[in-house]
Amino acid sequence: MNAIPDPTPNDPPATILALMDELPDLDWITDAGRVARLSQDFAWFSPVLDRQLKDKRADAVARPRTEDEIRALVGACARHRVPITIRGSGTGNYGQTTPLAGGVVLDMSGYNALRWVRPGVARAQAGIRLGELEKQARATGQELRCLPSTYRSATLGGLFGGGFGGVGSINYGPLAAPGNVLGLRAMTIEAEPQVVELRGAEAMRMHHLWGTNGLVLELEIGLAPAHPWLETLVTFDDFAPALAFADALARAPGLVKREVAFLASPVPDHLAQLAEYLPTGCHAVLSLVAEPGEEALRALVEAHGGAIGYRRDAAEVHKSNRTLMEFTWNHTTLHALKIDKSLTYLQSSFVPGRQVEQITQMEGLLGGEVLMHAEFLRNLDGLLTCSALQLVRFTTEARLDEIMQMHRDRGVRINNPHVFIVEDGKAGGPLPPEVIETKRRFDPHGLLNPGKLRDWPVRPAAASAPALPSAAPAEVAGAVA
């Protein structure tokens, strides 16, 4: 999506050439343009990250297709002390797939077999695309519990490594809620890689660590029963009734739903592909409600003075292969940024039960500069609230920081999407000891994208400064050179 500057052609460094010699049957990518592209994700949503990360790239990309190939690559990298950056499809937003210290991008997209689908559970290799997994689950009357808007290309491993939840989190909460991920199979980054099955809470120690403390080979996840989803856009003239409708729909326990998003004006004006259904200047609520709930949904729309501007039943959605899910979560951001390059975004979460009040307050304070897009979900504790992915008319990094601080000052949590160090983002500070212990166990040489974890290895002096690649540990930097 982003225009990657055409890199000057460069040959891989000697260590990489040695790796390639050692593993000639592996699918290697060294073409400078492809390597540059495969070193990037959607971090360009953030002008800050774009500036910091756009020139970072791997020395080469390897795309193994079997566990044996992965083991051989990992073992060789460990022996040669070559950094490894794990990649799914690059749909993340925080440079999860961008090597800060060069080395090899381990592209997992070729390791993509479905292992099995059972009642309530599926297991697949990490590189499987979520669209494919959803399709396989659907064949058994089931579906994924949390589906990011990027599901067509995003991988299961990528979602686990850098995702939060998505469509479906209104029922099942974030991916981190116990029961959503049952277990995983991971490989250690060592000369003789070990493969281990981790279950439950132990598995979750690798979640949202951006692939920095273990190589996830396979994931076992909870499934949901599939429903025939009715997709609608309900439009309103005013902010307040639109938000009230979204909140009421999200709460209604008898209305089965998969997704409720509130798009305050002028966000809908940025969804060019839906323009004919969204009157200019409208506020819109996008939802997926199980078809038998349509009468109750219409009654709720009427009670709030809305109008159904778009309606597709499950059969129509299936036939058209076009779904409103691809206009939710960070796809909304993507559609908007396509129209207006000056936009960036926030990630925030509201106090459960106070979401309507806080969203209204922030709109009053920052409306015009910050454009409200809120997604309803249950939090880890099962409480209904919103995560917002507000669009921001970007001016300066200082103003962006100020805007985020204005949210924090009013009790709105910011999961800063303008940082690329694990501890600075959603983790919100030093990592828990068990996560560090997992890092020690699974990546003893610190080869997984060095620089991405501030706490590893612990550097006495610079521990609180951003760990830019230039500050990467000498051992690792040496290995890259």
Q: How many other β-carbons are positioned within 10 Å of the β-carbon of residue 279?
A: 16
159 vs 366, beta carbon nearer a second copy = 159
Q: How far is the CB of 123 from a second copy (least distance, A)?
A: 11
Q: How many other β-carbons are positioned within 10 Å of the β-carbon of residue 2?
A: 14
123 vs 335, beta carbon nearer a second copy = 123
Q: How far is the CB of 138 from a second copy (least distance, A)?
A: 13
Q: How far apart are CA 147 and CA 133, in angstroms?
A: 10
Q: How far is the CB of 189 from a second copy (least distance, A)?
A: 27
43 vs 117, beta carbon nearer a second copy = 117
411 vs 478, beta carbon nearer a second copy = 411
Widest distance between CA atoms in the chain:
69
202 vs 424, beta carbon nearer a second copy = 202
Q: How far apart are CA 245 and CA 235, in angstroms?
A: 10
Q: How far is the CB of 452 from a second copy (least distance, A)?
A: 27
292 vs 444, beta carbon nearer a second copy = 292
User: What backbone torsions phi and psi does residue 81 show, to the nearest 5 degrees?
Assistant: 55, 45
Q: How far is the CB of 263 from a second copy (least distance, A)?
A: 22
Q: How far apart are CA 4 and CA 32, in angstroms?
A: 11
Q: How far is the CB of 177 from a second copy (least distance, A)?
A: 3
Q: How far is the CB of 180 from a second copy (least distance, A)?
A: 4
319 vs 399, beta carbon nearer a second copy = 319
Q: How far is the CB of 203 from a second copy (least distance, A)?
A: 10
Of the CA atoms within 13 Å of residue 152, those in its CB half-sphere come to 8
> Interface with a second copy by CB under 8 A: which residues?
118-121, 141, 145, 171-173, 177-180, 182-183, 199-201, 222-223, 225, 227-228, 250-256, 290-293, 295-296, 299-300, 353, 378-384
33 vs 411, beta carbon nearer a second copy = 411
DSSP 426-441: TT-SSPPHHHHHHHHH
Element (H or E) spanning 170, and its range? helix 169-172
Task: Give every strand in the sheet of 370-371, ordered side by side.
Answer: 343-345, 391-393, 370-371
Q: How far is the CB of 141 from a second copy (least distance, A)?
A: 7
DSSP secondary structure code for residue 76 in this structure: H
Q: How far is the CB of 319 from a second copy (least distance, A)?
A: 18
87 vs 145, beta carbon nearer a second copy = 145
2 vs 140, beta carbon nearer a second copy = 140
Contact 73, 26 (CB under 8 A): yes
Q: How far is the CB of 120 from a second copy (least distance, A)?
A: 4
250 vs 261, beta carbon nearer a second copy = 250
Is the Cα dihedral 456, 460, 462, 464 positive or negative? positive
Strand partners, 28: 62
Token representation of residue 188 = 């250690």
Task: Give every strand in the sheet of 283-290, ordered side by side.
Answer: 307-312, 229-236, 283-290, 257-263, 373-378, 384-388, 348-349, 413-414
90 vs 163, beta carbon nearer a second copy = 163
- Say how many Å lie between the first and final Cα of the chain, rounded: 30
Q: How far is the CB of 260 from a second copy (least distance, A)?
A: 12
Q: Which of 143, 150, 72 is nearest to 111 (CA)?
A: 72
Q: Give, in degrees to the nearest 5, the angle at Cα 232 between 231 and 234.
A: 165
Q: Which of 1, 195, 215 is nearest to 108 (CA)?
A: 215
DSSP 283-317: EEEEEEEEGGGHHHHHHHHHHTT-EEEEEE-HHHH
